[in-house]
Structure 1
């Protein structure tokens, strides 16, 4: 259930001030990645192209870089080669909808350390961040929407979350059926944010500016509203 979304992702308490750089020309992903990794005490900076990435990495050291492949007029593979030539030694993960036949090996052969495929589930991104940041801190879970139980009581919170589930499922069906994602994203993002689900709120609100992020927003939504394993 959404109320246990962060528990479902397996979030842990990590040291403060991890620095992550997202290099992606779709601005929607900055909002989504930032929301997902906020509980990891990670600051996420954003660059949209080669020049921006090189500038960011010249200004500070990052603990992890997520690199898209198709960056408008730039190629993420060439950007990685340039970064390695400048002795950038932090982990760099391919963050892309490109699915080569060789799988992850395609990217590791080209200077990447690993691969996160788009669209992605929240727990996939969080697990990759934890792995490459080398953090093994014991879990300290935090649930999105937890304030609902305090305000409405357990039964009232369960009823409200049930209605949110239904609204999210309907919104997914509408967009899958060809409806304009922008007004639906605005409505669902506002509703999720009001009820205390910042990750889903950021994801749905991102659709107002970038329809290309829909596969990831859809995956995150389906992941979040799915019944717990064994339920």
Structure 2
């Protein structure tokens, strides 16, 4: 969700910086990059241990979520290029969709409220799994709830933990470059954004084609 469908990563980074400053700690770009796509439990622990934010992991998570929700309410929901269009085409084509995010349910519901109708048959959030990304559990659970083999799915991800999770599940994978560079890898398709990407493109990729539209590393 964050960074793939909606460009909320700047909101997360702003909240992390504010929390570190409010607690007399320090935040740097490497910390922000390390936390992209990670479970909120991991991010909160890192903010406590590396950025000096005081409180329990649960308390820091609540502060992070509240800060991001406040920014969505006051500044709007910035969609990634092509994301809404692809979702609409997939919905019209009758393709079952799962949203697999490490954001927690109450934040995910805020984002989904902007989608009418909601195209997702299954939603898996970070507070509903035992092991978050990069473990394959979130994607395996999504495929199971959809009633499909993971190998018949294509996963779209913008983070390294997300890519690792999806690839370990057996799904075909598209890396969409956003906050962090997406390295080339065997079998991995890569796009600069979802602009112009169609259902036909996804069908080709899940059938085994690789489509790499980013420059060589």
Instruction: Specify the TM-score bucket, using the shorter chain as the normaliser.
Output: 0.3 to 0.5
Indicate the structure (1 or 2) with the bigger Cα radius of gyration: 1
Q: Normalising to structure 1: TM-score of the pair?
A: 0.32
Higher helix proportion? 1
Quick one: higher RCO (CA 8 Å, sep 6+), 1 or 2? 1
